[in-house]
Structure 1
Amino acid sequence: MLSDIAAWFITLFVVDPLQAEMREQLDRANASTEIIQQSQRCVASQAPQLLNRAGEDPAWAIATVVGFTFGWTSPAQLLDKGDPNCAAVLGLLQGRDGEGAEV
């Protein structure tokens, strides 16, 4: 039961906003169709991993939701850097994070 609630929180407060952030960054960057497709494959592979981890470790889920909601955890930190489909999106997200840090 607790694992189902944790997974729901991850979906509502992390996965959905993560997808929205990725779409926003891709739109802003005028990304190619290939990069958009890679980002969709990235989310398709990463979301189940996040949900599994949330189900196995509810404390991690709560900490991640809080960190992501308050901006302490960046979207790039939640994606697998070893996933080739996430490489282009990670570059965009990390570029945004770097810009925000300079201001």
Structure 2
Amino acid sequence: MLSGIAYFIVQTVILDPLQTEISDRLVRARVPPQIITQVSECTKSSLPALVRRATDDPQWAIVIALDVWLKRKTPEKVVEEAAPSCKPVMDSARSYFAKGTV
């Protein structure tokens, strides 16, 4: 029961806003569809790790949620910090952002 609530909160407050922002930026940057798919799959697959970390360290979860909502960091940076396994995929997407298209 509690894990279901934790999943819902992390997905609603952290993951969904991140995915929306990143997807919008990737589309505007004209990133190839396969990279967009990889980024989306990586962020979705990171949900269990995010929930574990959020339940182990609630302060971390609050800081990440604030970073997302207040846009204190770029979405790709937040994803890398929250899910380090997504770094290679985010690096490939970042190369399009660096071209000045976003």
Q: TM-score, normalised by structure 2?
A: 0.68
1:64 aligns with 2:64: yes
Structure 1: gaps (5+ residues): none
Superposition RMSD in Å: 3.2
Match runs of 1:17-32 below 5 Å = 17-32=17-32
Q: Deviations over 1:45-95 (max 9, x none)?
A: 3333222211111121112212321122331222235542332234456x4
Q: What secondary structure is seen at the aligned counterpart in 1 of 2:46?
A: helix
Identity %, equivalent residues:
31
CA distance in 1, matches of 2:94, 2:78: 10
Match runs of 1:1-103 below 5 Å = 7-80=7-80, 83=86, 84-92=88-96, 95=98
Structure 2: gaps (5+ residues): none
Q: Deviations over 1:19-63 (max 9, x none)?
A: 101110121112212212221232133333222211111121112
Question: What amino acid is aligned across from residue 86 of structure 1 in structure 2?
Answer: M
Q: Against the structure 1 CA distance between its residues 47 and 62, is the aligned structure 2 distance closer, same or farther, given a 3 Å change threshold?
A: same
Are the equivalent residues in 2 in contact too, given 1:7–1:61 (CA < 8 A)? no
Aligned residue pairs total 98
Q: What secondary structure is seen at the aligned counterpart in 1 of 2:71?
A: coil
Q: What secondary structure is seen at the aligned counterpart in 2 of 1:79?
A: helix
Moved more, 22-31 or 45-54: 45-54
Q: What secondary structure is seen at the aligned counterpart in 2 of 1:41?
A: helix
